[in-house]
Amino acid sequence: MEYRQLGGAGIAVSAFGLGVMTFGGQTPEDDAFRQLDMAFDAGITLFDTAENYPTPTGPETQGRSEEVLGRWVAARGLRGQVVIATKVAGPGNAAGDMRHIRGETRRLDRANIRQAVDDSLRRLGTDAIDLYQVHWAERAISTLGRTRFSLLADAPDQVSIEETLAALSELVSEGKLRAIGVCNESPWGTMRYLAVAQEHGLAQIAAIQNGYSLLDRSFELGLAEVGMREDLGLIAYSPLAGGTLTGKYGADPVPIPGSRSSQSAGFLARLSPAKQSAILAYAELAREHGLEPAHMALAFAKAQPFTTSVLMAASKASQLEGNLGAIGVVLDKPLLQAINAIHDGNPNPR
């Protein structure tokens, strides 16, 4: 396993991390513990969760992912050997109705952030969170997952980035947070966090967690340069594009029983002809080079110069076992060129 620095935070993390978004929900605790053990034994030290997990989200299970992760860390005595990352939910979280988390007043203001941090610390069973991230921006962002920009008006009572960052900085000063980051951000929002930190002497974000995969390389069109020039590490989520890049869905996709796709309404409807064409092309290319499609996809995300860590995620230990085979995979230049050729012919398919 390779280890990389998390921006300027002085924290080393594994080049592959484990996302635990299904733990405590779709993934029962015994299977979750098996996955966590497997990941740690393979060299993974970064474990990523959020206050609203597991997914699908709901009031009955909210917070269980953090609890499961915290119990595992305590049971194995690993607190000083792992990096725990979690997130605060705000009004912009794209996960449906989440009024069960601090009600109608869930914002990214000081009161909400302090409450969220204290609740996460309790569930995780720790006195400090290594990386605390803003899950979604307070404002509506119109550049993620879309093909063009559209201006969306700010809410009259929108919490400013200045207020959010000041609240996070307080908690860094108090020792409750070691480092902070953003998720699902735009280039403008990321640069605004950096500018506010410099202008007001506040804590600087160390990472940005956005989606990145062979099917979605939009991070490269603005944010990659920001990350590399401003010393921000990408924590790439969904590197297998919801499991589609494993090649398991084929040319005529149907839901796989027990998979996340089977519990996500409309998942397969999002597999457009353009996406299926790209998926099949990448799978064929991987097999031509003697690789599993999933291993090629994961290794590709890790190989990018702007990537700090790539989050694997699995609902079952058997799925994670297969994905861990990507750890030692290195893609040579001809293969990377062939990947780029497929991308250039069908970029970020919709």
Q: Counting every residue, how long is the chain?
A: 350
Give Cα separations from 35 to 60, 238, 254, 324 (angstroms): 23, 17, 26, 10
Phi, psi angle pair for 180, to nearest 5°: -130, 160
- Give me the catalytic one of 53, 132, 212, 249: 53
CB-count burial class (<10 Å; 0-12, 13-18, 19+) for 115: middle
User: Which two three-digit tokens encode residue 146?
Assistant: 């879309």
* Cis omega (within 30 of 0) for bond into 257: no
* Cis omega (within 30 of 0) for bond into 156: no
CB-count burial class (<10 Å; 0-12, 13-18, 19+) for 80: exposed
- d(CA 308, CA 301) in angstroms, rounded, equals 10
**Active site includes 53?**
yes
Instruction: State whether residue 296 is helix, strand or coil.
Output: helix
Question: What is the set of active-site residues?
Answer: 53
